[in-house]
Amino acid sequence: MYPDSLYATSRGSFLRPVPLPQNDPDVPPTVSVSLACEWLPVVRGALQQLLLQSTWKTDDPAELLKVQGQVSNLIDLFQECDPSTLPFACDYDYLSSEASWGLLHDSNVSPDFYGEYIAGAGWFATDTHYSVPNIELRGCYIQKTFSPSISVTKIGMTYDVSNGSFVYPGYTTYVQAFNGVSLVIDDEIDAHTQPQGSNITFEWLGSPTVVDKVVLALFVGNAAGSTSPGGSGNIKQAEILGVGTSTC
């Protein structure tokens, strides 16, 4: 009921029965209306109430059956959109769970990953070591795979970060996505000069791109030898928007 009320109850749209239409719903003159695809199921559902016997001002069973058939034809005029054109949103709250994300392993470092998940807190930066060159790196490097592939228009993450030392240039915080072995999305910022603080957001936006793996990387520092660069990072949320079938 509109406006909302504590005493609202479900009821039909009409206070009293309405006269029966004289023609089928697609008989001219007609009017064209454009609807967002995500609203079509709602409209179709709302039109179902026209099947209620109480809607129509008639006591004739034949006339009632006829108009109910016309209502069915009316509903059928609102064809559902092709699923491949519908938008989807995948929201990942790492404060609740790791949301089926995992660490991305790198054979060039020891241990062969950086980052750890702490239940109820998110993904946190940890140290790892490159032997050649002799570098200690601190960051968080996570991934999620999708099967079947998805078509994305946005990939973003929200995190807290406080940089440690940066002895070596060239390290970036980034969003990447792959289709097979091909890198198809690569958006990055210089980790040495990245904004710091709480609830920092970083995102890629673009035209629909088919991907089967998304990688999020947050780097907070590097140092020579085996000395930790310090710094802290915590990826708390991620968001993926796209079109078509979602495999969140």
Measured distance CA(140)–CA(157) in Å, rounded: 12
Closest by CA position to 44, among listed 85, 83, 87, 74: 74
pLDDT tens digits along 106-144: 888 899 999 999 999 999 999 999 887 889 999 999 999
Same domain, residue pair 68 and 96: no
At residue 148, does pLDDT exceed 60? yes
Domain count, the chain: 2
pLDDT of the residue at 45: 87
The CATH number given to whatever domain includes residue 156 is: 2.60.120
Same domain, residue pair 41 and 162: no
CB-CB neighbours of 190 under 10 Å: 13
Question: The pTM is what?
Answer: 0.71
Q: Which residues constitute the domain of residue 114?
A: 87-243
Same domain, residue pair 50 and 148: no
Answer with the one of 81, 106, 121 that is the final residue of a domain: 81
Answer with the one of 81, 113, 147 that is the final residue of a domain: 81
Rg of the chain over all Cα atoms, to the nearest angstrom: 28
Answer with the one of 81, 112, 135 that is the final residue of a domain: 81
Same domain, residue pair 165 and 53: no
Per-residue confidence band for 1, with pLDDT thresholds at 50, 70 and 90: very low
Same domain, residue pair 39 and 92: no
Measured distance CA(233)–CA(8) in Å, rounded: 48
In a domain, residue 154? The reply is: yes
pLDDT tens digits along 39-96: 888 888 888 888 888 889 899 889 989 998 998 999 888 887 766 677 899 999 999 9
Same domain, residue pair 24 and 75: yes
Same domain, residue pair 134 and 49: no
CB-CB neighbours of 211 under 10 Å: 24
Same domain, residue pair 112 and 214: yes
